[in-house]
Amino acid sequence: MKTSRLNSFVIIAYLLAICFVVIRNFYSPWGDVFNSNGNYSHYNNYLIFRQSFGHLLHSVNLYIPYPTEYFDLYKYPPLFALLMAPFYCLPVWLGYGIWTGINILLPIYGLRNLGLLNTNRGLVLALIVLSEAITAALNSQSNGIVIGLLLLSFSSALKENTFQSVLFIWLSAFIKIFGVLFFLIFLMFDQQRIKASLYALGIFGFFLLVPGFIGGFDALVQHYRDWFVLLENDFSLHVKYSVMGWIKSWFGLNLSKNLVILLGLAVQLLPLLLKWKSLERPSFYWPYLISLLIWMVVFNHMAESATYIIAVVPIAAWLAYVDRINALEWGLGILVLLFTVLGPTDIYPLYWRKLIVETYQLKAFPCIAFWMYLLVQSVYNSSLLEAKK
């Protein structure tokens, strides 16, 4: 199939996916829990985000239950509530449609900005990413936005647009805090380090304080206090789809989550020490930064199925980036497709889905294996991994 035809097919597929998710979730209530407006819906997470701006506007506690509005709790910083202002002002159906569109389209836009969709291979990988994007969007969460912002940060750094790169990292980090790790990118771009540090401080201060202009700064201080209380009491012994869950499932070990995270972080940082003089080589920073994005998911003990868009998109980016996919990459990529991407879908019977996703942690394992592989590649700088001209 010619690239132009495949490109048109990809665009149509993404637009149809947005329509499918919105219609399916908007008209399919679930569960036996009722509020004053009826069943809680499949877009409950969107309602949590949307209503947070109203709570910010009226200076009420962001972090307590509002059972007449939605199920569960808002767990994000005040800035995220402020960013939801446009959605609060829109009708729910329209705002939810836009929210879904952003979550599905932003990751692919990030790949496009990195120049990874210029070949048939890249476009086919975009279709595989779409399946994972649908899984994430069906949960109405923000994971597609997070990985899209981080990819845009990467492409901005490559174009030496330091301010924009820093801005995208902070936007992602104020949605999900682990995005802050991506500031390691500026170790690879020596000429941007000082500017990045100054921009990072300035943008952080602005994002920290700007919600105070809505409900007042006394209320903002209280919001941060309430948020810290929520985080202190949000500790869970349960592990989901992660390195911790994989170790428990395969080896029967219940290791300390903090210990596993620290060990994983040490392994992730080790290539920076081993290849300190090679940080600015594309053959180092491409596999390293992609491994870092995968790390953010597989070492998150509370990672859900919908979180894995943050790992699958970077893996697709790598497979689109390399000149030739070697045998090991083919094998790992097939495992990612069969288990990480398709594991939670109806392509498997329900019993198999539970075995793949939950019992044997096969949604997580291919991403863990790919993370290990990319770290090795970043250290040894294989000649096959040189940047495209």
Q: Locate tokens 């939605």: which residue?
A: 70
Does residue 376 share a domain with residue 360? Answer: yes
What pTM value is reported for the model?
0.93
Mean pLDDT, rounded, of the chain: 91
Does residue 268 share a domain with residue 217? Answer: no
Does residue 274 share a domain with residue 245? Answer: yes
Does residue 327 share a domain with residue 224? Answer: no
Distance CA 344, CA 357 (A): 6
Q: Where is the domain boundary, 186, 215, 234?
A: 234
CB-based contacts of 246-249 (< 8 A; 24+ apart in sequence): 246/361, 246/364, 246/365, 246/368, 249/359, 249/360, 249/361
Helix axes 162-173, 193-209, angle to 10 degrees: 40
Model confidence over 175-195: pLDDT tens digits?
Answer: 999 999 999 999 999 889 999
| 124: containing domain | 1-234
36: pLDDT confidence band, cut at 50, 70 and 90? very low
* Number of domains into which the chain is organized: 2
Distance CA 150, CA 165 (A): 8
Model confidence over 190-201: pLDDT tens digits?
Answer: 889 999 999 999
Distance CA 144, CA 133 (A): 7
Does residue 300 share a domain with residue 384? Answer: yes
Segment 346-373 shows an average pLDDT of 93
Does residue 260 share a domain with residue 221? Answer: no
Does residue 123 share a domain with residue 52? Answer: yes
Helices (H) and strands (E) in the chain, counts: 18, 2
Does residue 320 share a domain with residue 219? Answer: no
SS3 content of the chain, % helix, strand, coil (to 5): 70, 0, 30
Model confidence over 118-160: pLDDT tens digits?
Answer: 999 999 999 999 999 999 999 899 999 999 999 999 999 999 9
Q: Where is the domain boundary, 234, 268, 285?
A: 234
> 235-246 burial, b for 16+ CB within 10 Å, e for fewer?
eeeebbbbbbbb
Q: DSSP 3-state assignment of 39?
A: strand
Residue type at 6 in one-letter notation:
L
Distance CA 223, CA 212 (A): 10
Does residue 200 share a domain with residue 51? Answer: yes
Q: DSSP 3-state assignment of 130?
A: helix
Distance CA 221, CA 69 (A): 24
